[in-house]
Amino acid sequence: MKFFLVFLLVTVTYFGQKEVHGFFPPLKCKDNHIVFHNKLRPGSILEINCLEPRVARPYLRHFHRLGFNENPYKIILEWQSLSGKFTVKCNLSHGPNQKFYYNDLQAYSDKASRCGQLRSWIAKVDGIWFTEKYAKPEGWVFGWKTR
């Protein structure tokens, strides 16, 4: 009888926990950020146009016109609303009639829903720079296309 009670307790504890983990998301999962900086030249406006795939609706559009040296534009990806595998694509442009551009930039891409990720994009005159860590210096990744 004693043995049976222990067995019961262990079983209930084990399956009870499994159920809890199944129903509730892991705690302390920080949101993922995509951040854009405009370091072009005084007077420049960076146009940012992104499509974020969502579980509930097909896409969420993020549009912003960011002035030179303004506070960075931040897209917060709420990990609750993300499916496991997804890509946020953005079109960036600037200059007269948006002469300089880069389309379908994979601003954020993930195969699993990870937490607390940063993707920082810095628009400069010579192209688009990138870093994944605040402490890490950005590196040049793409040149601007022209139309």
Taking the least distance from each CB to ligand NAG, the nearer of 34 and 51 is 51
> Which of 8-16, 19-27, 86-94, 133-141 is the region at the interface with ligand NAG (rule: CB under 6 A)?
86-94
Per the DSSP assignment, residues forming a β-bridge with 46 are 66
Instruction: Choose among 87, 88, 83, 40: nearest CA to 62.
Output: 88
| Single residue of 35, 50, 82, 128 touching ligand NAG by CB under 6 A | 50
| Single residue of 87, 91, 117, 131 touching ligand NAG by CB under 6 A | 91
Task: Find the residue with minimal CB distance to ligand NAG.
Answer: 91
- The answer to whether residue 51 forms part of the interface with ligand NAG (CB under 6 A) is yes
Reading the block at residue 46, the tokens are 């960076």
In the range 8-47, which residues lie near ligand NAG by CB under 6 A?
none
d(CA 121, CA 44): 16
In the range 99-118, which residues lie near ligand NAG by CB under 6 A?
103-104
Q: Which amino acid is at 12?
A: V
d(CA 38, CA 43): 10
- The answer to whether residue 122 forms part of the interface with ligand NAG (CB under 6 A) is no
* Closest approach of ligand NAG to the CB of residue 49, in Å: 4
Q: How far is CA 29 from CA 59, 79, 80, 87, in A?
A: 23, 8, 9, 19
DSSP secondary structure letter of residue 81: G
- The answer to whether residue 49 forms part of the interface with ligand NAG (CB under 6 A) is yes
Q: How far is CA 20 from CA 27, 80, 124, in A?
A: 12, 17, 48
Taking the least distance from each CB to ligand NAG, the nearer of 91 and 131 is 91
